[in-house]
Structures are given as C-alpha cells and as structure tokens.
Amino acid sequence: MRDCIVVGAGAAGMSASLTLARARRSTLVIDAGEQSNLTASSVGGENDRRPPSRFYAAGSAALTVYGSVELCHGEVARGVRDEDGNFTVTFGDGRRERARSVVLAPGMDYRYPRLPGMDERWGSSVFHCPFCHDWDIGDRPLGVLGGGAGGVQGALSLRAGVDRITLLTNGSELTDQQRKQLAVGRVGLDERPVSHLDGPGAELRTAVFDDGGELPISTLLVKTSLYQRSSLARDLGASLTEPDEILDVEAIKVDALSRTGTPGLYAAGDAATSVLPSMAAAVASGHLAGTSAAVQLAAGF
C-alpha cells in the first residue's frame, strides 16, 4: 500500500510526484509515454524553446534521487476505490497497485479533423495553441481551420503578429455577425470544403479544396477538442465538465486545491483544465495536487 499513485508522467504528473517526494511520501508514477506535445520541436512559454523530450527526461532524472518514488512504464486500464477509501489501479497486463490516494494527470485525447496530410505535420506547421506557436509563425501566411464561434475566435486571436490570416470553415457557414468580426479584424475567409494539405515532406505549402482550388499557407491552426483518454476518472468517482461550442473540453472537475470531490482523488494538468492547456499551468497544477495529497495524507483523511 503506497501513499499515492500518480497516473501520468507529463508536466503535471512530474510536478505532483516531485512535491510528494519532497514530502517523503511513497509514490508510484505511471508513465504511458503518450505526452501530447512530444511531436513539437520545442516548448513555448515555461522552459521556452526546450524540446519536450528533454523536459521529461530531466523530470525523470530529478525523481531518481528520492528513494520513496518509483517510476514505471505502462498504461492503466481501470481503477476502483474500495469501501475503506483506498484505490486499486490495474494495468493493461493485469498488474495491480494500491494506494491511499491518486493524482490523475494522464493528459488528454486531442481530437482534430483528420484531413490527409495533417498527421505528419501535427505539432510543427499544424498546431492547436496560438500561444505556443504564435511567435514562430513570423510573417508566413496562416490558415485557421474551424467553423462557428470557435474558428472565428481562433483566427482573431492571432491578429497581433500575423499579417495574412485566412479562416477555413471547411464547408460550414458563418453568421453575418461573425463575417463582420472577421472583416473588422482583417481576416480572410474561405468556406469551401478542404480536401487535403500539401507540401514537400512535412512542410506545409497549400491547403487544397474539394473543387481543386488551392490556398498558399505555411502554417495551420486547427480547432481541437480535448477529451479524457479513458474512463478512469469516472471509474474513480470524478465528475467531468460538459463541452460546448467554444470550449470543447471534457475536463475533470476540481476545486481550488485540485480535489475532485472524491476523498483522496486529485487531478492536474490538461486533464483537469477546461480553459487553456499549457506546460506552465500543468506544472503549477501538479504542484498544487501533490501538496493537497500530502496535506490530507498527513491528516489521515
């Protein structure tokens, strides 16, 4: 019986684990190796321009000096909370581990339109976060793929540093008010269905439409939906937010101290935010979740 199991070894999971380690709590960190930003060339904001793989390697190395922490690789298939308030998680291979508390930091399932030519460019010339990639766009022509209020908002959010922006609604129509917003913001508009993305290798050169027309672009912002990667949060008693048109995010509900409402169960990182996921926010929320778990463990909740 450990003090805590941390599900996920991304920025939030590493931060929570380090906090628990320094509180001298026996902790198992489970790394599925599926951090969502591994395809990106560098981190934006916190740890600016540092490759994600180096960030995670440094986090793993930092944990090795604490004898109370064990880092293992694997994927949690399911979990339960028993009548005594303790948790059991079961791996895909059948292995089981028990703990008095759990921090959920598994990251999220990023869902975006699967146009041909998109996957191989994801995380470089095709991205979902304007705050992570805005600076790197420079003066290159940018496309924004998405309809409705979310697409309009995404295009307008990049006006400060990009001169040539075109919103691609991929066949969906906008309201007159949304068209006016784009015109005032000097954002171009193309409502034709998009066939595929084209360019040499992983480089993006054009968006190709169903009618054979092309739009020269070098980067593409894609409206992305974020959903839980598994039913684990629900299985353990957590509640989730309801996605809407602007924030299409299925996040674990937590209070100001990263508590889910189920005693002993905490959540942090992308999986527990319905606003804007980021490395800096994940590190902060992981520290808070780890602190909350350590405090309640000490109180013998």
CA distances from 284 to 26, 222, 267 (A): 21, 26, 12
Q: Are 218 and 230 in contact (CB under 8 A)?
A: no
Closest CA to 222 of 201, 210, 204, 240: 204
pLDDT of residue 60: 86
**DSSP label at residue 65:** T
Mark 5-19 as b/e (b = at least 16 C-beta within 10 Å): bbbbbbbbbbbbbbb
pLDDT of residue 1: 94
pLDDT of residue 113: 84
**DSSP label at residue 271:** G
Closest CA to 252 of 285, 219, 220, 280: 285
Mark 278-293 as b/e (b = at least 16 C-beta within 10 Å): bbebbbbbbbbbbbbb
Q: Are 129 and 136 in contact (CB under 8 A)?
A: no
pLDDT of residue 292: 97
pLDDT of residue 181: 94
pLDDT of residue 207: 96
Give me the domains of the chain, ranges plus CATH numbers. 2-110+225-298 (3.50.50.60), 113-222 (3.50.50.60)
pLDDT of residue 12: 94
Task: Give 101-147 pLDDT, tens digit per residue.
Answer: 999 999 999 888 889 999 888 888 888 776 665 556 556 789 999 88
pLDDT of residue 174: 93
Mark 170-204 as b/e (b = at least 16 C-beta within 10 Å): beeebeeebbebbeeeebbbeeeebbebebeeeeb
The two three-digit tokens of residue 69, written as one number: 């922490």
Ranges of the chain with pLDDT below 50: none
Closest CA to 132 of 272, 32, 285, 281: 281
Alpha-carbon span 40 to 268, nearest angstrom: 21
pLDDT of residue 243: 83
Compute the CA torsion angle 18, 86, 258, 131 (nearest 10 deg): 60
